[in-house]
Chains A and B, each alone.
Chain A
Amino acid sequence: MTNDIAGIKKADVILIIGSDTSAAHPVIAARIKQAVREGKSRLIVIDPKKIVMADYAEIYASQRPGSDVAVMNCMMQEILRNGWEDKEYIENRLEGFDEFKAEIMQDKYSPENVEILSGIKAETLRAIAKLFGQAKVASLFYAMGITQHTTGRDNVWTTANLQMICGNLGVDGGGVNPLRGQSNVQGACDMGGLPNVYPGYQAVTVAANQEKFEKAWNCKLDNKVGITITEMIDGAYDGTVKAMYVMGENPFLSDPDQTHVIAAFEKVDFMVVQDMFITETAEYADVILPAAAYAEKCGHFTNTERRVQRINKIIDPPEGVKTDWEIIQLIANAMGSDWNYQCAEDICKEINALTPSYGGITWERVGRYGLQWPCPNEEHPGTPYLHKGKFARGKGLLSPIAFKEPDELPDEEYPLILTTGRVLQQFHTGTMSRKTQGLNNLAGPMVMISVEDAESMGISNSEVVMIATRRGEITAPAFVTKRQRKGVIYIPFHYKESPANRLTNPAIDPIAKIPEYKVCAAKVKKTK
């Protein structure tokens, strides 16, 4: 999030696009609902499925999955046509406006044309643009509904374009606010758990960064960008990847095209899984290392608003279990190195020294409320919202983004669009949430089908149906609901017994390398 949670109530208008907020981020959803209830903010929800947040929205629109760029470009065309953009902001803080405008003003993004593309009525598109464009401060929230597309990067840039032309970036209460889906996904990124950057998003390809880390760690480092998770699976499959070290992840359920993933696991020479449980992935490991749970260690999580917060040790780990950093240090030293961290605090010091944005977020300073990065030094109070006054790169760059269709569209054989996501009561691949029986009692596998589609196929509620794509097939009970859009089915991906990712398309965004979980062609069949 460029902005903070406290800023939610400072927005006049809030746009949620591609986030089932009350299911995946319930507490942020509560904050947004509070803002609406208290009359502070007006809410627009754009989502294929009529999510709970739509019930609180002034305008709700259901777009065809994958049409987000067209919808937002249309909004921007309307905004520019009516002069609702922030002209001063565009003049002073942005560049690339002319090329951008040339793309946006094309006839293909007119409300009437986008109605054909997205299924949202032209008048609704106009109303959304008007409400959003005329807001003094508007914020935009998204989650994987925006990113998990072959056009994920385009979608993200388009949200940024929208917020830039409206002058909503670098403003309290505004911002582009991706909601991070896991407790420390932000921290894992911040800490260089990415193939292209060192901690603090310092590019591995920049010589100065390489030198800095080489000096600090007293070693030689590689300056070429590594491979991403989907490429790792492909590498294992085609033999270029020989060893995999998986810490606290479960690609068996979380990666697209499960059949392909299994084949890759079977092929890879040596696989180490470090986890609390024998996960579905761990079944394929050569070595499993038992790791401590969050409650058994201390350290920091960084949340979606970049707030670094302390986690405290509550109980001892079971005998024989070690914390992740202890295990990693053991491996490093067994490989011939000489690491000597005594506690997590020692590592924290190194983070402070090598990560500029974490420079001031020391063990002593974090306190009960945490600190929001960037926080370069110990005098810095932290940064509730980014891009105040100027952008990191100086001027904000508007890029013309053309609408592209998803990789796989429905056809005669696979007439439906399958999209995946989460439900409130379960989490990710279920390694944690599914250990609580009560949560399982509340939410099991299902496929959400629109009333129209269910009626035309003669499917009734709770009836077990088969869902198939070009990658495979699964069975799940049908959940027939008016909230689902005709022609679209939705399957949560938490369940190994009905693994949605056996069905999903592994096609990825060429730059962001994110798989297209939100759109693929599927069909539903009765099982009896």
Chain B
Amino acid sequence: MIVYLNGKAYEAFPGEQVLQVALRNNVYIPHLCFHEKTGKAAKCRACVVEIEGMPGLKTSCNVPVTNEMRVTTNSQQVLEAQRLVIDLILSSGQHDCLSCEQNGNCELQDAAYYLGIKKPSFQLYDNDYTIDDSSEFISVDRSRCINCGRCIVGCNQTVVNEVLNWGNRGFDTKIVFDTDLPMGSSTCVQCGECVQLCPVGCIIDKRSIGSGRTWELDKVETICPYCGVGCRLEVHVDRKHDKIVRITGVEDAPTNNGMLCVKGRYGFDFVQSSERITTPLIKENGKFREAGWEEAIGLVASKFNAIKKEFGSDSIVGLASAKVTNEENFVFQKLLRKEVGTNNVDHCARL
């Protein structure tokens, strides 16, 4: 079907909401509470538009498209309403971008930029707030919270851990963990789904604070090295310092839909651990000494050959690995079967 956005025709599909059609076609409408995964909430009210034949303004995230629908996203009335909504949000929290982790990756910043709001018109919050730093991996700064509710939907409907919820009412509404416990004392399992869904700098990865602006980081997709679910993740790397800074889940992955667990999201220190060994080691008199590759490989090969010769191929065994690639396991068993001449290959599948 066809939908007109500001007079221009775009293709739309049944079941889509107006906002989805607009975003797919790069027609920006400010929006904060909508996320493809958590769905329409119509809470933030930033995405209001005019729709021909409907009275007043409508939130575009929860109006399903109909054929020939005519939508105006940029009239004076629309922009003024959107500006009020964003202005009220900016006026109600500590939305300074200077040292905010999400600077450059913030949906509130995008909206304010689009609407040309230079500074909040009102001041509705007091400076008296504390950051909840009690959790091992996640930091919560409620002064930046915009009550979009994406974290709550994610916690309850996506990962179904049922920890986050709303507390208080009205202006004092806030996100709470269990019965308003500090995050670290709550039943939170720190899967980080809330971090991934937060559109602003409220719920953030504690361990990556200050370690790189989002636009400075290179992002590469790969597969999680932990359990067998095979979650697809995106590794954020600071190339200048060759350092892994953060890991996020890939939203469109068939295995995990953006979800990760505490290990997959935060347990990446081992890769760049100082305990890594970087040179072959040979044991002499009960102690390891560093050796060159040529020496070490030569020793292994000559030992294998000698043992094979003296005791037969089957006196050599190999343990393949449940943590290396298919390609590497393939050549490992090939080495044992072809070069050593034994089927004594196994790995810890049973353990």
Contact = CB atoms under 8 A, between A and B. Distances in A.
A119 to B, nearest CB: 27
Contact of B328 (A249, A324, A514): A324
A118 interface: no
A56 B296 CA distance: 53
Interface string B232-244: 1001010000101
Contact of B350 (A187, A241, A441, A515): A515
Given A313-B220, A325-B331, 4 more contacts: A185-B228, A196-B343, A314-B220, A329-B331
Q: Nearest 8 A-B pairs (CB), nearest first?
A: A303-B230, A299-B325, A180-B228, A226-B343, A248-B321, A193-B320, A334-B301, A33-B160
Contacts, number: 467
A30 B317 contact: no
Contacts of A458: none
A116 interface: no
Contact of A276 (B221, B276, B346): B276
Nearest to A312: B222
Contacts of A229: 319, 346-348, 350-351
Interface string B300-319: 11111101001101111111
Contacts of A5: 229, 254-255
B329 A188 contact: yes
Nearest to B283: A286
B228 to A, nearest CB: 3
A356 interface: no
B293 A322 contact: yes
Contact of A25 (B229, B253, B305, B316): B229
5 contacts: A22-B189, A24-B227, A228-B350, A315-B244, A334-B297
A269 B339 CA distance: 19
Interface in A228-247: 228-229, 232, 235-236, 240-247
A151 interface: no
Given A249-B348, A276-B270, A331-B304, A427 B226 contact: yes
B246 to A, nearest CB: 12
Contacts of B343: 195-196, 204, 222, 224-226
Of the listed residues A232, A287, A425, the one surrounded by the most CB atoms of chain B closer than 10 A to its CB is A287
A330 B335 CA distance: 10
A202 to B, nearest CB: 12
Interface residues of A, number: 152
A305 B229 CA distance: 8
A272 B300 contact: yes
A201 interface: no
B136 interface: yes
Contacts of A325: 325, 327-328, 331
Contacts of A186: 228
B137 interface: yes
B35 interface: no
Given A331-B300, A442-B190, A295 B325 contact: no
B298 interface: yes
Contacts of B282: 286-287
Contact of B254 (A220, A299, A369): A369
Nearest to B137: A438
A472 B271 CA distance: 34
Contacts of A436: 266-270
A106 interface: no
B319 A245 contact: yes
Nearest to A272: B300
Interface string B332-351: 11111111111111111111
Interface in A1-34: 5-6, 22, 24-28, 30, 33-34
Given A183-B322, A189-B349, A310 B160 contact: no
Interface stretch (B15-23, B44-52, B257-265): B257-265
A254 to B, nearest CB: 4
Contacts of A235: 317
Contacts of B167: none
A425 B157 CA distance: 22
A245 B320 CA distance: 8
A251 interface: yes
Nearest to B187: A52
Interface stretch (A62-70, A95-103, A159-167, A335-343): A335-343
A181 B331 contact: no
Of the listed residues B220, B263, B330, the one surrounded by the most CB atoms of chain A closer than 10 A to its CB is B330
Given A26-B189, A295-B271, A299-B328, A194 B345 contact: yes
Contacts of B158: 30, 34
A6 B301 CA distance: 46
B230 A304 contact: yes
A319 interface: yes
A286 to B, nearest CB: 5
